[in-house]
C-alpha cells in the first residue's frame, strides 16, 4: 500500500520557535518536539506536571501521584491526592483585569440575533444557575440530562452542572423519545434541562412531543427545567422555567472534587445493544482538552473559536471547555449551516473575527459543493483550521486548506473519539502536514499501528493501538464494565485497541483507513473504506460515498459501493453511467481484484446528527441483518431506502 506524498504545509523556523509546544519543550529542558514526544510517553508524570503548570490549571489541593493502576491499566486513577473542579479554570478569567470585560461567549442565532457575554458576566450567570439547581436539591453525583441548542444557555448549564459536582448527560436536540429514554434511563437521571423548540431554516422545530413522551417513561426523573416561552412541555414533574432557575442567589463557591469523580456521561451508539455511556472525570477530559487546545490548536487568550456542533456530539463539550479554559471567545451558532445560504459561516468568520474554525468532513464536502457561496466573506482573521469526526479525503482536505486557509494555515486533522476525550492522533503545527494525514500521535499518548500480536508495524495497515493508559481516556462505560473491557482491552491484554485501521508511513505520519469493523478484506488483501471512498470522491461528481464489504464465496468479501450523486443537471451522469465510471475508477486506482461487485445510488447515506456516515448500518442492512441502534441517526429514512435496495429484484 502506498500513499502519495501530498505535503501541503510546512512550518518555517519562526513558526516552530514561537509554538507553545516549543515553549513546553524548553520548559522541560528538551531540544524540540521529537524529544518532547518521547519524554511525554517515557515519563508522563513529569510531562503532565509541566503541562498543567504551563496551562495554569487551578487546583484546590495539589496532586501527589500521577497514576495508579487500580486494579489494572483499564481502570487507572489519575492525580491521586489532588482536588479540583475544572469549572474554576474555565471561569478564572473573570478575575483577570485584562480579560474580565472581554467576551467569553458570543451566541449567534439563525435569525441573526447575537448575544455577547463577558467573562465576568458568564461567571455570574453560571453561579446563579448553579444556585438555582442547588435550590432544587441537586447534589454531587446527580445525573442531569442536557438537551439544549448550542447557545449561551447550553454552555451556562453545562458549566453549572459541573460546578455543583453533578454529572451532565448531553443529548442531541433532535432526539426522539426512544433515544432520550434509553440514555436517561441508563444514567438514572433525576433532572432534564430541555428546550421546547429550536429554529432550523426559518422554521420552528418542536422538541416538546419527544420530551413529553420520554418523561412518561422515566419515573426516576423528577424535575424538568424548560427553556422556552410556552407550555408545551408538561407532565407530573416539578417544572421550572429557565428564567426562574437562572435568577437564583449565586453559589459562593464550586464543589471541590476528586480528579476521578465523574462530571459527564456521553452516550454513543453501538452496533448492537443499548447505547454505551462513556464516563469522563474532572481530572481527565477537561485537562486533555485544555492540553489539545493549547498544543494542537495553539488557542490563546483573546482568540475567537468557532466549531459548529451540538452539545450531544463530543465536539460540543470540547468547544466549551477548550475555549473557556484558554481564555478565548467561544462563538456558538444555533442554526442550519446553509441558512439563509451557504455563505453563513464565511460571513460569521468575517463578522466576529474568528481565528480558529473547525468543521466535520461532511460539512467540508458540503461547503466545497457550494464553493463560491461558502467562501463569500473575508477569511483573513483565520489562523487555524480544524477537522474531525470521520475520515477527510485528500481532495476535500486540500480544498479546505486552500480555500478557507488560503494555502497558508495549518489544518489540524484530529481523531480520538468519545471514549478518548481528545486526540489520539492529530497534527501539530511544528511538523509538516500531509493531506488527510495526522503528523503525530498526540503527546502523552503512546499510539501506533499494530499487527494481530500488538507489535508496531510501519508501511502496512494495522490496528490503532495505545500501549499504556492516557489522560482523558474514559473511566469505563456507565454500569457496564464488561462491555468496556471487551471493546478496548481484550484484543491485546494490557493495551487499548481503539477499533480504527491505520497506516503509518516512514516519516511518522498516520492515515486512518476507517473503523476496523468496516475494514475490507478482498482476496486476502486488507483495504480501508477511506481509501476506496477517496478515489470515488476525487473522480466522480458525488456528494458522498460509502464502501462496504459483504460476504463472497470466492473472495471472502466483495466490495459494494453506495454513492450519493450530486444534484442532477446538464451533463450529470445517470445511475448506470455513474456505476460504470465508479467501477472503472476503482479498478484503475486500486487494481482489478478490488473492482466493485455492486454499485448503488441513493439520495443520502444514513448519518448521525453530526454528519458521520454510518457504514456499519449500511453494511448490516445490505447483508440482510438488523441494523442495530439507530437512535442517533438524523435521517432514518435513508436506512429504509437502502433496505429497499436489498428487496428489489
Q: Give the DSSP letter string of 91-113.
A: HGGGG-TTTTTSEEEEEEETTS-
The confidence band for 627, taking pLDDT boundaries of 50, 70 and 90, is: confident
Domain locations along the chain: 7-75+275-514, 92-246, 519-647
Distance CA 521, CA 542 (A): 25
Q: Are 621 and 546 in contact (CB under 8 A)?
A: no
Task: Quickly state the pLDDT bin for 4 (edges 50, 70, 90).
Answer: low
Predicted pLDDT of residue 610: 65
Residue 612 has pLDDT above 60, yes or no: yes
Which residues, 6+ apart, have CB-to-CB distance to 534 below 8 Å?
391, 393, 394, 395, 436
Percent above pLDDT 70 for the chain: 95
361 vs 35, which has greater pLDDT? Answer: 35
- Whether the CB-CB separation of 467 and 448 falls below 8 Å is answered with yes
Which percentage of the chain shows pLDDT scores above 90? 72
Q: Is 361 helix (H, G, I), strand (E, B) or coil?
A: helix
Cα separation of 174 and 312, whole Å?
9
Could you give the strand order of the β-sheet that contains 447-450, starting from the edge strand earlier in sequence? 447-450, 461-466, 496-504, 510-515
Which of 438, 434, 447, 645 is CA-nearest to residue 546?
Answer: 645
pLDDT of res. 570: 43
Q: Which of 130-139, 285-294, 544-553, 566-575 has the lowest mean pLDDT?
A: 566-575
In DSSP notation, 304-332 reads EEE----TTSTHHHHHHHHHHHHTPEEEE
CB distance 260 to 616 below 8 Å = no
Question: CA angle, 632 as apex, 201 and 535 as ends, to 5°?
Answer: 85
User: What is the CA angle 196-201-205, rounded to 5?
Assistant: 20
Cα gap 649→636, rounded to integer Å: 23
Task: Please say if the pLDDT value at position 3 is more than 80.
Answer: no
pLDDT tens for each residue of 510-521: 999 887 777 676
Phi, psi of 623 (to 5 degrees): -85, 0
The CATH topology of domain 7-75+275-514 is Rossmann fold (3.40.50)
Distances from the Cα of 188 to the Cα of 184, 576, 612, angstroms: 6, 51, 28
The helix (H) or strand (E) run that includes residue 118 is strand 114-118
Residue 62: closest CA among 41, 73, 43, 48? 48
635/614 Cα distance (integer angstroms):
11
**Residue 256 pLDDT more than 70?**
yes
User: pLDDT tens digits for 521-564?
Assistant: 676 566 678 778 888 998 999 989 999 888 877 666 789 999 99
Identify the CATH class of 519-647: alpha beta
CA distance linking residue 547 with residue 514, whole number of Å: 10
Q: What does each C-alpha distance from 456 to 462, 503, 514 come to in angstroms?
A: 8, 11, 18
pLDDT for res 270:
56
Span 577-587, pLDDT tens digits: 898 999 999 88
Residue 281 is predicted with a pLDDT of 98
**CA atoms of 163 and 156, how far apart (whole Å):** 10
Distance CA 331, CA 243 (A): 22
Alpha-carbon dihedral of residues 108, 114, 116, 122, nearest 10 degrees?
-60
Q: What are the pLDDT digits (tens) for 537-547?
A: 989 999 899 99
Cα 118 → chain centroid: 26
Strand partners, 440: 426
Could you give phi then psi for residue 60, rounded to 5 degrees?
-80, -35
CA R_g for the chain: 24
Strands (E), 458-541: 461-466, 496-504, 510-515, 520-522, 525-527
- Which carries the bigger pLDDT value, residue 619 or residue 36? 36
Beta strands in 251-360 (DSSP E): 262-268, 276-281, 304-306, 329-334, 356-359
Report the C-alpha dihedral over residues 77, 80, 84, 87, rounded to 10 degrees: -20
Residues constituting the chain: 649
Residue 295 scores a pLDDT above 70: yes
Q: For 175-308, where are the E strands, in sequence order? A: 191-195, 197-200, 203-206, 223-227, 238-241, 262-268, 276-281, 304-306
pTM given for the model: 0.86
**Residue 273: pLDDT band with limits 50, 70, 90:** low
Q: What number is the average pLDDT over the span 296-305?
A: 98
Gap between the Cα atoms of 591 and 458, Å rounded:
22
Work out the average pLDDT over 363-382.
95
For residue 552, CA distances in Å to 182, 381, 523 come to 36, 52, 10
* Closest of 172, 95, 80, 161 to residue 126, by C-alpha: 161
Q: What integer pLDDT is reported at residue 532 of this predicted model?
A: 86
pLDDT of residue 630: 78
Residue 229 φ then ψ, to 5°: -110, 15
* Interval 448-481: pLDDT, tens: 999 988 899 999 999 999 999 999 999 999 999 9
Nearest C-alpha neighbor of 1 from the set 394, 528, 516: 528
| pLDDT above 80 for 272 | no
Backbone angles phi, psi at 104, to 5 degrees: -90, -30
pLDDT value of residue 401:
98
Taking residues 234-243, report their average pLDDT: 86
Q: What local confidence, expressed as pLDDT, does residue 571 receive?
A: 47
Q: Give the lowest-confidence range in 5-19, 96-110, 612-626.
A: 612-626
CATH number of 92-246: 3.40.50.980
- In the sheet that holds 238-241, the strands lie side by side as 238-241, 223-227, 191-195, 143-147, 167-170, 262-268, 276-281
Residue 568 reports pLDDT greater than 60: no
| Four-point Cα dihedral 326, 328, 332, 338, nearest 10 | -110
- For residue 523, CA distances in Å to 230, 462, 555, 616 come to 61, 18, 4, 21
Fold match flag (7-75+275-514 vs 519-647): no
Closest to 325 measured CA to CA, from 357, 297, 353, 358:
297
Alpha carbons 303 and 294: distance in angstroms, whole number: 12
Which pLDDT tens digit goes with each residue over 345-362? 999 999 999 999 999 988
45 within 8 A of 66, measured Cβ to Cβ: yes
- 458 three-state secondary structure: coil
Of 36, 29, 30, nearest to 445 by C-alpha is: 36
Measure the CA–CA gap between 185 and 189, rounded to whole angstroms.
7
pLDDT at 168 over 90: yes
Q: Compute the mean pLDDT over every residue in the chain, rounded to the nearest whole number.
A: 91
Q: Report the alpha-carbon distance of residue 601 to residue 603 in Å, rounded.
A: 7
User: What are the tens digits of pLDDT across the range 71-122?
Assistant: 899 999 999 999 999 999 999 999 999 999 999 999 999 999 999 999 999 9
CA distance 373 to 359: 16
Band of the pLDDT at 386, cuts 50, 70, 90? very high
Amino acid at each position: 500500500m502506498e500513499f502519495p506524498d501530498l505535503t501541503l504545509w510546512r512550518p518555517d523556523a519562526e513558526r516552530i520557535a514561537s509554538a507553545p509546544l516549543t515553549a513546553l519543550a524548553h520548559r522541560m529542558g528538551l531540544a524540540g518536539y521529537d524529544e518532547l514526544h518521547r519524554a511525554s510517553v517515557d515519563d508522563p508524570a513529569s510531562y503532565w506536571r509541566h503541562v498543567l503548570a504551563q496551562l495554569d490549571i487551578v487546583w484546590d489541593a495539589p496532586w501527589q501521584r500521577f497514576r495508579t493502576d487500580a486494579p489494572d491499566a483499564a481502570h487507572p486513577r489519575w492525580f491521586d491526592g489532588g482536588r479540583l473542579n475544572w469549572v474554576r479554570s474555565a471561569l478564572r478569567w473573570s478575575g483577570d483585569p485584562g480579560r474580565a470585560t472581554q467576551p467569553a461567549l458570543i451566541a449567534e442565532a439563525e435569525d441573526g440575533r447575537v448575544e455577547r457575554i463577558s467573562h465576568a458576566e458568564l461567571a455570574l450567570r453560571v453561579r446563579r444557575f448553579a444556585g438555582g439547581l442547588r435550590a432544587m436539591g441537586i447534589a454531587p453525583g446527580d445525573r442531569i440530562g442536557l438537551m439544549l441548542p448550542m447557545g449561551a444557555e447550553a454552555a451556562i448549564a453545562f458549566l453549572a452542572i459541573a460546578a455543583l459536582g453533578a454529572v451532565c448527560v448531553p443529548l442531541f436536540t433532535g432526539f426522539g423519545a426512544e433515544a432520550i429514554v434509553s440514555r436517561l434511563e441508563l444514567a438514572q437521571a433525576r433532572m432534564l434541562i430541555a428546550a421546547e423548540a429550536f429554529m432550523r431554516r426559518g422554521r420552528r422545530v418542536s422538541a416538546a412531543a419527544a420530551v413529553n413522551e420520554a418523561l412518561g417513561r422515566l419515573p426516576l426523573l423528577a424535575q424538568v427545567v424548560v427553556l422556552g416561552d410556552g407550555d408545551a412541555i408538561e407532565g407530573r414533574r416539578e417544572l421550572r422555567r429557565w428564567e426562574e432557575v437562572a435568577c437564583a442567589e449565586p453559589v459562593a463557591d464550586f464543589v471541590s472534587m476528586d480528579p476521578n469523580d465523574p462530571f459527564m456521561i456521553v452516550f454513543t451508539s453501538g452496533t448492537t445493544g443499548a447505547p454505551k455511556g462513556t464516563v469522563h472525570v474532572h481530572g481527565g477530559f477537561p485537562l486533555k482538552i485544555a492540553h489539545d487546545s493549547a498544543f494542537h490548536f495553539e488557542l490563546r487568550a483573546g482568540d475567537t473559536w468557532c466549531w459548529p456542533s451540538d452539545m450531544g456530539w463530543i465536539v460540543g463539550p470540547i468547544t466549551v471547555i477548550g475555549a473557556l479554559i484558554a481564555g478565548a471567545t467561544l462563538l456558538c451558532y444555533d442554526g442550519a449551516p446553509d441558512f439563509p445560504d451557504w455563505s453563513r459561516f464565511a460571513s460569521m468568520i468575517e463578522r466576529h473575527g474568528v481565528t480558529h474554525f473547525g468543521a466535520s468532513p461532511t460539512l467540508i464536502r458540503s461547503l466545497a459543493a457550494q464553493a463560491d457561496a461558502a467562501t463569500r466573506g473575508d477569511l483573513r482573521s483565520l489562523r487555524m483550521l480544524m477537522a474531525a469526526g470521520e475520515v477527510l479525503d485528500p481532495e476535500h482536505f486540500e480544498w479546505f486548506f486552500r480555500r478557507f486557509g488560503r494555502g497558508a494555515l495549518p489544518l489540524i486533522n484530529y481523531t480520538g473519539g468519545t471514549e478518548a476525550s481528545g486526540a489520539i492522533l492529530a497534527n501539530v503545527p511544528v511538523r509538516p502536514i500531509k493531506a488527510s494525514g495526522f503528523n503525530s500521535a498526540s503527546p502523552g499518548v503512546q499510539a501506533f499501528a499494530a499487527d494481530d500480536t500488538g507489535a508496531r508495524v510501519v508501511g502496512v495497515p494495522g490496528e490503532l493501538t495505545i500501549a499504556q493508559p492516557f489522560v482523558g481516556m474514559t473511566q469505563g462505560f456507565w454500569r457496564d464494565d464488561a462491555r468496556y473491557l471487551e471493546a478496548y482491552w481484550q484484543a491485546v491484554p494490557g493495551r487499548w485497541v481503539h477499533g480504527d485501521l491505520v497506516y503509518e508511513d516512514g516519516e511518522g505520519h498516520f492515515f486512518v483507513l476507517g473503523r476496523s469493523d468496516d475494514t475490507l478484506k478482498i482476496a486476502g488483501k486488507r483495504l480501508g473504506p477511506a481509501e476506496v471512498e477517496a478515489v470515488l470522491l476525487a473522480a466522480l461528481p458525488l456528494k458522498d460515498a460509502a464502501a462496504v464489504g459483504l460476504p463472497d464465496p470466492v473472495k471472502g468479501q466483495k466490495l459494494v459501493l453506495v454513492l450519493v450523486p450530486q444534484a442532477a443537471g446538464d451533463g450529470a451522469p445517470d445511475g448506470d453511467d455513474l456505476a460504470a465510471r465508479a467501477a472503472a475508477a476503482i479498478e484503475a486506482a486500486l487494481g482489478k481484484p478490488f473492482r466493485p461487485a455492486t454499485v448503488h445510488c441513493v439520495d443520502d447515506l444514513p448519518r448521525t446528527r453530526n454528519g458521520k456516515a454510518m457504514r456499519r448500518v449500511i453494511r448490516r442492512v445490505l447483508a440482510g441483518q438488523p441494523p442495530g441502534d439507530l437512535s442517533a441517526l438524523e435521517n432514518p429514512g435513508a436506512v429504509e431506502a437502502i433496505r429497499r435496495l436489498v428487496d428489489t429484484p
